[in-house]
């Protein structure tokens, strides 16, 4: 009797694990944490804050290309703290995990350019 209960519990655990994995792949949408951007760039000059706000609006509307163009402008300016570099890199990684749509190649190219600039 104990053996049957144990087998049933193991089977339920396996089914639950598979169900959770399917849920994560199909139903749970990844998100880009825009609050990290606004927090990391809070001490930045007004012009950079405005660009961050533009990038956040583009991210929230899933306009990955526009958001990355703005983030690349910020990265190209230089003078970023390590925290800001880390947040920009993390944001690029988050965006790369999203459904990129028709502009996927351009988005991936911008991500690579930003990451290369941050590594300098």
Task: Please report the pLDDT score of residue 9 as a whole number.
Answer: 52
**pLDDT tens-digit readout, 58-108:** 999 999 999 999 999 999 998 999 999 999 999 999 988 888 778 888 889
Examine the pLDDT at 13 and tell me if it is beyond 80: no
Task: Please report the pLDDT score of residue 29 as a whole number.
Answer: 52
**pLDDT tens-digit readout, 14-61:** 565 565 554 444 444 568 889 999 999 999 999 999 999 999 999 999
Q: By the 8 A CB rule, do 32 and 94 touch?
A: yes
Task: Please report the pLDDT score of residue 32 as a whole number.
Answer: 87
- Which is nearest to 95 in space by CA: 20, 30, 17, 45? 30
The DSSP result for the chain, as a single string, is -HHHHHHHHHHHHHHHHHHHHHHHHHTPPP---HHHHHHHTTTS-HHHHHHHHHHHHHHHTT-HHHHHHHHHHHHHH----HHHHHHHHHHHHHHHTS--GGGHHHHHHHHHHHHHHHH-
More confidently predicted of 42 and 10:
42
Task: Please report the pLDDT score of residue 99 as a whole number.
Answer: 82
d(CA 87, CA 82): 9
Domain ranges of the chain: 1-30, 31-119
Task: Please report the pLDDT score of residue 96 as a whole number.
Answer: 86
Q: What are the phi and psi torsion angles at 30 (to 5°)? A: -65, 155
* pLDDT band with cut points at 50, 70 and 90 for residue 8: low
């Amino acid at each position: 009797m104990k053996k049957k209960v144990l087998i049933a519990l193991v089977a339920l655990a396996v089914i639950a694990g598979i169900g959770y994995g399917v849920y994560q792949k199909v139903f749970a949408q990844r998100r880009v944490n825009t609050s990290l951007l606004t927090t990391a760039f809070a001490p930045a000059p007004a012009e950079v804050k405005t660009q961050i706000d533009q990038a956040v609006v583009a991210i929230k509307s899933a306009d990955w290309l526009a958001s990355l163009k703005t983030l690349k402008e910020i990265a190209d300016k230089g003078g970023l703290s390590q925290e800001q570099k880390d947040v920009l890199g993390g944001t690029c990684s988050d965006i790369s995990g999203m459904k990129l749509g028709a502009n996927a190649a351009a988005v991936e190219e911008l991500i690579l350019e930003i990451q290369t600039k941050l590594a300098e």
